Amino acid sequence: MPLLRLSWVRGAVGRDGGPRDEAEVMTIYTIGFQGKTAEEFFEALKGAGIRRLIDVRLRNDSHLAGFARRVHLEYLLKEICGADYMHEPLLAPTDEILDSWRAKTLPWDEYEKRFGALLKEREVEQAIDRSVFSVPSVLLCSEPRADKCHRRLVADYLAGKWGGVEVKHL
C-alpha cells in the first residue's frame, strides 16, 4: 500500500469536536498485541477513541498473529471500533535489523541506533504528513511493551521532529 499523503487542513476536528487549533498538541498512541486477548486489545483502542490504526510491522500477515493478522484486523477494526487500517512499511525495520534483534545478536542499544538511522535516512518526518494523525491514531506492532519496540522509537522520532506531539502507550 502506498504511503498515505494528506495535506494539513485548517479546521480539522479537535479533541473537543470543534475546530482543531493548529497549535493543539497531537497525540500519537502505540499498542502491541502480544499478550493481549482480542477483547483487551479492542477495548483499549475503543477507550482511547482510536479511528486509525497504522500497522508498522514488517510482516503483518503471519498466521501466528491471530486476530492481529492483517486479513482479520482490517475487518475487526472497522466493525468493532469504526477505525481505518493502514499498513506503513516505511515505519518498519529492515529484515536484517529485525532478524538480528530477534536472534539476540544485536543488543537493544545498537538496534535503537540502527533503526533511528534508518528513520532519518528514510526522512519519515517528511514522507509522512502529520495529517495522517488528524484523527486519533495508533501505531501497531507485536511487542507487548513499548520500551523495547520500534513503535516507540517511531513515535518518539516523529515527536522529536514535528514537535507538539504527545506519545501515549496503550
Total domains present in the chain: 1
Q: Which three cell numbers stand for residue 3?
A: 504511503
Which residues form the domain of 37?
A: 26-169
**Domain presence at residue 120:** yes
pTM, 2 dp: 0.84
**Domain presence at residue 68:** yes
Q: Specify the pLDDT at position 52.
A: 98
Sign of CA dihedral 83, 42, 147, 113: negative
- Is pLDDT at 7 greater than 50 in this prediction? no
Q: Which three cell numbers stand for residue 108?
A: 537493544
Give percent of the chain with pLDDT exceeding 90.
77
**Domain presence at residue 85:** yes
C-alpha pair distances (Å), 97 with each of 63, 130, 146, 159: 22, 26, 17, 22
**Domain presence at residue 8:** no
Q: What percent of the residues of the chain are helix, what percent strand, and what percent coil, each to the nearest 5? A: 45, 15, 40
Q: Which three cell numbers stand for residue 97?
A: 535489523
CB 56 within 8 A of CB 154: yes
pLDDT digits (tens, 9 = 90+) for 98-118: 999 989 999 999 999 999 999
pLDDT digits (tens, 9 = 90+) for 140-159: 999 999 999 999 999 999 99
pLDDT digits (tens, 9 = 90+) for 18-51: 444 556 789 999 999 999 999 999 999 999 999 9
